[in-house]
Chains A and B, each alone.
Chain A
Amino acid sequence: MRKILVGIKRVVDYNVRVRVKPDGSGVALEGVKMSVNPFDEIALEEALRIKERGEASEVVAVSIGTEDAQQQLRTALAMGADRAILVKVSEAVDPLVASRVLVAIAQQENADLVILGKQAIDDDAAQTAPMVAALWGRPQATFASKITLEGSVATVIREVDAGLETIAVDLPAVFSADLRLNEPRYVKLPDIMKAKKKPLDIIEFSALGIAADVGLKTVFVEPPKPRSKGIVVKDVAELVDALQKKGLI
């Protein structure tokens, strides 16, 4: 039976408006609400649905983060993941490093599917799924909006710029979840209680023998240049007039 690995990243909640620290060293995270990356929730939901259809036997949630990421893994367990693994790091790692870690876990676990979010809403890098696939030497189906499994082949509908593209990939393979793949379930209280008893293993990053430095350094972080606020027009005539004066219509 198939085993599914799902990536869970702890990120600043979707609704938080982050502020850049005055010294340019990063964004202020103290006291900010943290959540599971929304795309990772979609990835996990898909894994759970595959398992519930009887097409997989186990869903393993993996996070690469500090101790605190256990909270997000507990959320994943409450949603329905069977067990969780935290690869403990002291600070955020580059997507290339995260990918090397995920490949190590995928190999260790003999995973058939690795389902990740298409991007994390903190760094917005959108790199990890293709990197994992490349390092693992396996196919990738990014921006998935529908995944169908049949034997050793997955047929995937992808959200691309031109519309919806369908590809077929041989398993094992890496998938990245797009917005329309599914709508993640809400966690119910009894599930939160149950999740406390599910296994959550912690692996030290240093035990994996993967280098943390990939030669990319953050020089500084700044807020975006504000866009100057315009005017409010009173009616359509004034709007059309203003746009015509600018030669826009």
Chain B
Amino acid sequence: MSKILVIAEHDGAKLNQATARAVTCARQIPDAQVTIAVFAADPAAVAADAATLAGVDAVVTVAHSANETALAAVLAPQIVAVAAHYTHVLAASTAFGKDLLPRVAALLGVPQISDAMAVEGAYKFKRPTYAGNAIVTLEASPDRILVASVRGASFEPAARGGNAPISALSVTVELPTHTRYVSLSAAASSDRPDLASAAKVISGGRALGSKENFALIYSLASKMGAAVGASRAAVDAGYAPNELQVGQTGKIIAPQLYVAVGISGAIQHLTGIKDAKTIVAINKDAEAPIFEVSDFGLVADLFVVLPEIEKALAG
């Protein structure tokens, strides 16, 4: 049997949807027993949330004041202590998971499979390399704990309706004090849908031309109830904050609808949206590579058609 430990990502109150996607990956491992581990100052709310995910067999909690904020250096030794009872340790391949899991793997003395996108066997996974242009099948040794981060865009979130038992663990390991949380500044307003999990995403690129013009993207997104994304060029130019970047080095997303506005479609961007169900591209340049992957392409000046789309949606 494969005993899978999935590390919960959360904000202290709710489980991040990326963890629900990692649970789906865990469930696909043959003969899996899935446990979610919640590390928090007070894990009760997150544990209760995690317990309702379908396919979760157990939720374990580790309460510690040092777990108030998620610091990889603090969490990793605790996870290592818990991992001894498991065959796999999984977490979402988010900024949280990317920061944390390699630290866990190194402490365990095992390699890591990053961005698992398909389960081929208990120790065999597919993952993207070269910005998604080469898909590698990797096989790890079954006699060691397997550590893998899960590419959220490749797995649907686990459904609700579960009722897993919750139990508290006491972990006695020395926690480092060499790393201290100071603050978090969230630039994007929180009343918009979350980019990573939104059903609809409108992204703007360099062609927007300025931060002021980027407001057109926010405006259309509001009308459509969509999250806002941006190409690297738009973020580098300061039109949009860093956490909105979509692509190889930003967020990998899989919304129902992705609308790329004024984005040419560099391979680094395309790798971030390839799993979107429907891609719409709006670009002045008919030769832009974005049209190679779009389901619906509109060759037009964005400054002309965005107001038209808004008007059409209003009517």
Contacts and interface: CB of A to CB of B under 8 A. Distances in A.
Interface stretch (B23-31, B50-58, B83-91, B292-300): B292-300
B102 A159 contact: no
A143 to B, nearest CB: 6
A233 interface: yes
Interface stretch (B36-44, B108-116, B158-166, B207-215): B108-116
Contacts of A249: 224, 257, 313
A96 B105 contact: yes
A130 to B, nearest CB: 4
A131 B312 contact: no
A215 B111 contact: yes
B113 A216 contact: yes
Q: Pick the most buried of B115, B136, B183: most chain A CB atoms within 10 A of its CB.
A: B136
Contacts of A39: 249
Contacts of A94: 111
Contacts of B155: none
Nearest to A120: B129
Interface in B138-191: 138-141, 144, 176, 178-188
A167 B293 contact: no
B13 interface: no
A233 B279 CA distance: 13
B134 A131 contact: no
Contacts of A17: 133, 267
B205 to A, nearest CB: 16
Q: Pick the most buried of B187, B279, B291, B309: most chain A CB atoms within 10 A of its CB.
A: B309
A63 interface: no
B251 A161 contact: yes
A180 B292 CA distance: 29
B137 A167 contact: no
A183 to B, nearest CB: 9
B103 interface: yes
Nearest to B232: A179
B236 A179 contact: yes
Interface stretch (A69-77, A79-87, A188-196, A222-230): A222-230
Contacts of B235: 179-180
A1 interface: no
Interface stretch (A2-10, A51-59, A238-246): A238-246
A20 B111 CA distance: 24
A18 B268 CA distance: 12
Nearest to B242: A159
Contacts of A127: 102, 105, 112, 114
Contacts of A131: 102-103, 105-106
Contacts of B286: 232
Interface in A98-152: 99, 118-119, 121-135, 138-140, 142-143, 145
B248 A121 contact: yes
Interface string B88-106: 0000001110111111111
A217 interface: yes
A124 B267 contact: no
Given A135-B106, A163-B186, A224-B128, A218 B180 contact: no
Nearest to B309: A236
A133 B73 contact: yes
B81 interface: no
Contact of B102 (A130, A170, A224, A243): A130
A105 B299 CA distance: 54
B305 interface: yes
A164 B280 contact: no
A27 interface: yes
B200 interface: yes
B136 to A, nearest CB: 5
B243 A162 contact: yes
Interface in A27-56: 27, 39
Q: Pick the most buried of A39, A159, A180, A249: most chain B CB atoms within 10 A of its CB.
A: A249
A186 interface: no
A41 B164 CA distance: 47
Contacts of A229: 291-293
A134 B131 CA distance: 27
Contacts of B128: 124, 224
A224 B71 CA distance: 34
Q: Pick the most buried of B106, B112, B251, B298: most chain A CB atoms within 10 A of its CB.
A: B106
Given A215-B111, A216-B138, A227-B279, 17 more contacts: A124-B129, A124-B130, A126-B114, A128-B102, A130-B102, A133-B73, A142-B99, A143-B99, A159-B242, A161-B95, A161-B196, A161-B251, A219-B137, A221-B129, A223-B134, A224-B132, A224-B135
Interface of B: 71-73, 76, 94-96, 98-107, 109-115, 124, 128-141, 144, 176, 178-188, 196, 200, 224, 232, 235-236, 241-243, 245, 248-249, 251, 256-257, 267-268, 274, 278-280, 286, 291-300, 305, 308-309, 312-313
17 contacts: A96-B112, A123-B129, A124-B248, A131-B103, A134-B104, A139-B179, A158-B95, A159-B95, A170-B179, A180-B236, A216-B111, A219-B139, A222-B135, A223-B133, A224-B132, A229-B292, A230-B296
